[in-house]
Structure 1
Amino acid sequence: MSELTFVLGILSTACVTFLFIKWLLQNRGKRYPRGPFGFPIVGHLPFFGNHPPSTFMKWWKSYGDVFSIRLGSWNAVVVNGFKAVKAAAEHPDDAFSGRPNFVSMELLIESDNEERFAFGNFSPVYLKQRKLASKALRLFTSKRSEVIEELVTNEATSFSDSLIRKYSTTPGFIELDVQTLVTRIIYQILYGRGKQVDVDKHVKVIIKSLDEINEFSGSGSPIDVLPWLRYVMPWKITAFRQTIAKADGIMTEQVHEHYDSFSTGNIRDVADAIITSDADDEDNKDRYVLTRSRLNFTLGDLQGAGVDTTNKTLSWLILYMTKFPHVQERVFAEIDAIVGKNRDVALNDKPDLVYTNAVILEVMRIVTQLPLSVPHFAMKDAMLNGLDIDKDTVVIFNLYSVHHEKEFWEDPECFRPERFINDDNKLDSDKCNHVLPFSLGRRRCVGEFLAKMNIFLAFSIVMQRCKFVKPSGESLDLTPIPGLVYTCKDFKVLVQKRN
């Protein structure tokens, strides 16, 4: 061994020893979550499998409610079970309410250098945008609730008639029909009714954009957590930028039109309601000014979240009704007994349609189409379940674990809507509160009540008019396709008119 080699060996050993001692001193007395073995560079990505939530369920049993993993370049913890998820989501000082600077989130804000509402970091700007969006949605729904109900009813009845016309004798795939229905509803709620030319022009663009964003930002997406991959696969970044630009173009056009035609006291849609809410905000001490790009982003997030989750929920509901015809018939029987055939289901019927509500809840629970939530981020050093979580750690809420917690649900893998109904034929509030498709805390989906309204009305009206029948030879696979929002596989159905 040469003297140079010997000296380098001594220096390397000293350096490693110094860094190890420094780490020990910095973390003295800390107790970190345990976790499974991972690989260098890629971390645990290769172990996620085809359905990461199932993998996380196994690790939950081995390592506890909070366990550590490595997402490529990011340290992360996964939070499991209702109690732990609730504690993390509602942590004092919003310690886990941040958003990691993943590649997709970086690309979403680069065009205007403004933070997105849903994907931006937890900041005074986010809190103001959230307050504004919440106030605007309440304002619009309180003043124009009959308009929303009429809109959803008209679109759902037209959708039902179209399905019967197209698929009563020849089975077909209905995913695009469902996407179109929901996109038309959300678009008109956000930007106004009666814009048939704009609706026809923009619906397909919105659907395609959301599919591409969902695929790019899906759970365990390597390019999102391994930033250097952007240089290996630059075409993916280019395609994602183009997708964002197309979606933003639609909103920019509508935002400019609304500023030009806005009239105080005439709330036509959610865009008008947001402009009104900002102008009337008496608590605006920091003189927050709603820029057009911020309005653009707020509408974009409401549009994306509203369309994507609602259309996928409705698709899952139709799939389960086709797979379980006895449940479908019980839903129809309840609607027929309470509403009858001479009028459409109305929002006022919701409290009386107990089993119908239970079916919606059960499908949301068993599917968990957003199983791992949008990633959170530790904005400061904090404790969770007696464990230390360092600042800058990605925090993932495993909502799938909440919906499949055996100690609470007893038979979570069984599709059983009646689990939500108590002996008095009322919905069990405790079980209802354990279904978290819209998450918890101050990152909870701000449009939750509007989404629930749309899902209930659309589903009930479609069930009132349509009977979904499994075609001969169709398997109806319930295994989801992973993504940011989990999608059901394409399936064919026959759609018959209810007498």
Structure 2
Amino acid sequence: MAWLLVAPLVLAIALTLYLRMRSARRLEGNRLPKCVPALPIIGSLLSMRGTMQPHILFHDMQQKYGELFAFMMGPHYTVIVNNHKHAREVLHKKGKIFSGRPATVTTDILTREGKDIAFSDCTPAWRFHRKLVHSSLKMFGEGSASLERIISKEANSLCEVLTDNQHVSINMAPELTRAITNVLCTLCFNSSYKRGDPEFESMLKYNKGIVDTVAKDSLVDIFPWLQLFPNRDLQILKKSVAERNKFLNKKYNDRKADFNADEEKDLMDSFLRAKRNLENNDTHAKEVGLSDDHVLMTLADIFGAGVETTSTVMKWMVAYLIHYPEIQKKIQEEMDNIIGLDSRPTLRDRGRLPYLEATIREVLRIRPVTPLLIPHIAMEDSSIGEYTIPKGARIVINLWSIHHDDNEWPDSDKFDPGRFLDEEGQLILAPSHNFLPFGLGTRVCVGEALAKMELFLFMSWLLQRFSLSIPEGHSLPDLQGKFGVVLQPNKFMVDTRLRDVWLKNQQVSS
């Protein structure tokens, strides 16, 4: 039986050597990026030994290999992009050429083999689904009163929970996640959850299982044949995805049973309506892939990615405001002077609160929620700058490097919202081409506008009422973070106290 275990290894070695020889002959005479030393089968993986996180490791490797270099991720030829000029070329100028996505074991499990938006190739189905999401979001009017009401309602609910937990240190992460989850649930399913709801607790559990195990360049994604062996992370992922699918299927089947084509309440209604309209055009329906699987995976994408990314940015924001109480105080002084304590923040205030906006942007810069963007695939032989990039190469944009380039961001490890303000304290829209928190071009984040609205409204509502600090006896939040599908801050406790000026104003008002 031993040959059953050895055979895949032998085949992998042979295939790796064959592909390298064929690629070398085809690209002979071209200038390829300098490659980190690689061994047969494992490629350059020995360079990743130790505890350093990959985005920081790749950032440091620039000193030896240049801003653009190659890295053999096992048998996969991967190009690491560390500067904004090359990133813009990949994402925007040659966005279609580099629009592919690699199929991996974990993402195939997550997306039913690429039937979503984030991890699928740039196909007619992908374009149709993305366009459908855009048009459906416009149903709520991005930036209009309708969407603003949804977010403000959840911001108020979050503030009420924190008010009820005065004088008790709290882990804000579940509450922030619940608030963002309810915004997405309203948009996707026209439903929301109260604190402690069993279904919400189940969602938290399976979502953590997915976040901890998917798209982390784990060995099974690099060497798919490792699926033959017991794999704890893979089992956790499969179980978590099964729970997620059970939840989505219930929502979907319930909605199909009472679907009203004349009333669009949420994204699910939009998808069901589009699906019904295509049923009489079998050819086009097949081309765009509007099957039940595609609808469910696209909803899962919007829901999952929208919750995890935005709630993570809010966690980082709270962590940094605890570290820098003077910045927190300055935001509150700005809000007191501009909005006061009797009015609630609205989207109209975004242009009037430049320091708060600058602080949000500085958090997005210094701790990019996805420090390594989802890899792209070269759909044909092409180039980045002066270097030849072969068809099939994986391209990884190291957003961490781009946001920590000391030439563009002096003293880049310093938290300084002033980077985004001019001498008069007004917001600078584009202080540097190196600011790409939502990506760019063909694959730009579909939820960018929604995320910006959520971050502004949630943080302005919170900071108008509360002062955030570290509880007595607790350490300051760790700012290193834990690398995964997103860069998560480690758990930390917060003392959320109603501001004295807020309490006085409430007493006077009553």
Q: Could you tell me the TM-score, scaled by structure 2's length?
A: 0.87
| Map of 2:257 onto structure 1 | 260
Q: CA deviation at 1:356?
A: 0.4
Q: In structure 1, the residue corresponding to 2:197 is in which secondary structure?
A: helix
Q: CA deviation at 1:342?
A: 1.1
Q: For residues 494 and 323 of structure 1, what CA distance do their matches in structure 2 show?
A: 13
Q: CA deviation at 1:223?
A: 2.2
Q: Aligned to 1:226, which of 220, 223, 226?
A: 223
| Map of 1:5 onto structure 2 | none
Kindly tell me: are residues 430 and 109 of structure 1, through their superposed partners in 2, closer, same or farther at Cα, counting changes over 3 Å? closer
| Map of 1:149 onto structure 2 | 148
Kindly tell me: are residues 458 and 253 of structure 1, through their superposed partners in 2, closer, same or farther at Cα, counting changes over 3 Å? same
Letter in 2 for 1:477: D
Q: CA deviation at 1:394?
A: 1.3
| Map of 1:108 onto structure 2 | 110
Letter in 2 for 1:246: E
Q: CA deviation at 1:277?
A: 5.6
Letter in 2 for 1:342: D
Letter in 1 for 2:478: D
Q: CA deviation at 1:354?
A: 0.6
Any residues of structure 2 matched to 1:58-73 within 5 Å, and which? Answer: 58-73=60-75
Residue pair 2:36, 2:70 contacting (<8 A) in 1 also: yes
Q: For residues 205 and 101 of structure 1, what CA distance do their matches in structure 2 show?
A: 28
Q: Aligned to 2:82, which of 80, 83, 91?
A: 80
Q: In structure 1, the residue corresponding to 2:122 is in which secondary structure?
A: coil
Kindly tell me: are residues 265 and 453 of structure 1, through their superposed partners in 2, closer, same or farther at Cα, counting changes over 3 Å? farther
Letter in 1 for 2:402: V
| Map of 1:250 onto structure 2 | 247
Residue pair 1:469, 1:493 contacting (<8 A) in 2 also: yes
Which consecutive residues of structure 2, in runs of 5 or more, have no partner in the other structure?
1-16, 503-510
Letter in 1 for 2:102: P
Q: For residues 381 and 460 of structure 2, what CA distance do their matches in structure 1 show?
A: 47
| Map of 2:300 onto structure 1 | 300
Residue pair 1:372, 1:399 contacting (<8 A) in 2 also: yes
Residue pair 1:77, 1:393 contacting (<8 A) in 2 also: yes
Q: In structure 2, the residue corresponding to 1:169 is in which secondary structure?
A: coil
Q: For residues 87 and 186 of structure 2, what CA distance do their matches in structure 1 show?
A: 35
Letter in 2 for 1:230: Q
Q: CA deviation at 1:40?
A: 3.5
Q: Deviations over 1:364-395 (max 9, x none)?
A: 10011200011111221111112111112111
Letter in 1 for 2:101: R
Q: CA deviation at 1:197?
A: 8.0
Q: In structure 2, the residue corresponding to 1:409 is in which secondary structure?
A: coil
Residue pair 1:42, 1:226 contacting (<8 A) in 2 also: no
Kindly tell me: are residues 278 and 117 of structure 1, through their superposed partners in 2, closer, same or farther at Cα, counting changes over 3 Å? same
Q: For residues 91 and 274 of structure 1, what CA distance do their matches in structure 2 show?
A: 31
| Map of 1:421 onto structure 2 | 421
Residue pair 2:70, 2:78 contacting (<8 A) in 1 also: yes
Q: For residues 122 and 411 of structure 1, what CA distance do their matches in structure 2 show?
A: 38
| Map of 2:7 onto structure 1 | none
| Map of 1:186 onto structure 2 | 184
Q: In structure 2, the residue corresponding to 1:430 is in which secondary structure?
A: coil
| Map of 2:498 onto structure 1 | 497
Q: For residues 84 and 108 of structure 2, what CA distance do their matches in structure 1 show?
A: 30
Letter in 2 for 1:223: V
Q: What percent identity do the matched residue pairs reach?
A: 27
Q: In structure 1, the residue corresponding to 2:81 is in which secondary structure?
A: strand
Residue pair 1:72, 1:226 contacting (<8 A) in 2 also: yes
Q: Deviations over 1:428-485 (max 9, x none)?
A: 1222764322211211111111111111111111111111112234232211111110
| Map of 2:136 onto structure 1 | 136
| Map of 2:158 onto structure 1 | 159
Residue pair 2:107, 2:215 contacting (<8 A) in 1 also: no
Residue pair 2:468, 2:496 contacting (<8 A) in 1 also: yes
Q: CA deviation at 1:319?
A: 0.8
Kindly tell me: are residues 227 and 323 of structure 1, through their superposed partners in 2, closer, same or farther at Cα, counting changes over 3 Å? same
Q: CA deviation at 1:138?
A: 1.8
Q: For residues 407 and 211 of structure 1, what CA distance do their matches in structure 2 show?
A: 37
- Alpha-carbon RMSD across the aligned residues, in angstroms, is 2.6
Kindly tell me: are residues 441 and 475 of structure 1, through their superposed partners in 2, closer, same or farther at Cα, counting changes over 3 Å? same
Any residues of structure 2 matched to 1:290-439 within 5 Å, and which? Answer: 290-431=290-431, 434-439=434-439
| Map of 2:482 onto structure 1 | 481
Q: For residues 496 and 21 of structure 1, what CA distance do their matches in structure 2 show?
A: 64
Which consecutive residues of structure 1, in runs of 5 or more, have no partner in the other structure?
1-16
Q: For residues 241 and 150 of structure 1, what CA distance do their matches in structure 2 show?
A: 36
Letter in 2 for 1:382: S
Q: For residues 440 and 208 of structure 1, what CA distance do their matches in structure 2 show?
A: 32
Q: Deviations over 1:210-231 (max 9, x none)?
A: 2222221253322221212222
| Map of 1:443 onto structure 2 | 443
Letter in 2 for 1:355: Y
Q: In structure 1, the residue corresponding to 2:431 is in which secondary structure?
A: helix
Residue pair 2:44, 2:74 contacting (<8 A) in 1 also: yes
Q: For residues 231 and 384 of structure 2, what CA distance do their matches in structure 1 show?
A: 38
Q: In structure 2, the residue corresponding to 1:75 is in which secondary structure?
A: strand
Residue pair 1:187, 1:199 contacting (<8 A) in 2 also: no
Q: Deviations over 1:187-236 (max 9, x none)?
A: 1221114x558993432233222222222125332222121222222443
Kindly tell me: are residues 44 and 220 of structure 1, through their superposed partners in 2, closer, same or farther at Cα, counting changes over 3 Å? farther
390-399 or 19-28, larger mean C-alpha shift = 19-28
Alignment partner of 1:38 is 2:35: no
Residue pair 1:362, 1:417 contacting (<8 A) in 2 also: yes
Kindly tell me: are residues 415 and 73 of structure 1, through their superposed partners in 2, closer, same or farther at Cα, counting changes over 3 Å? same
Residue pair 2:108, 2:114 contacting (<8 A) in 1 also: no
261-270 or 177-186, larger mean C-alpha shift = 261-270
Q: Could you tell me the TM-score, scaled by structure 1's length?
A: 0.89
Letter in 2 for 1:191: F
Q: For residues 102 and 244 of structure 2, what CA distance do their matches in structure 1 show?
A: 23
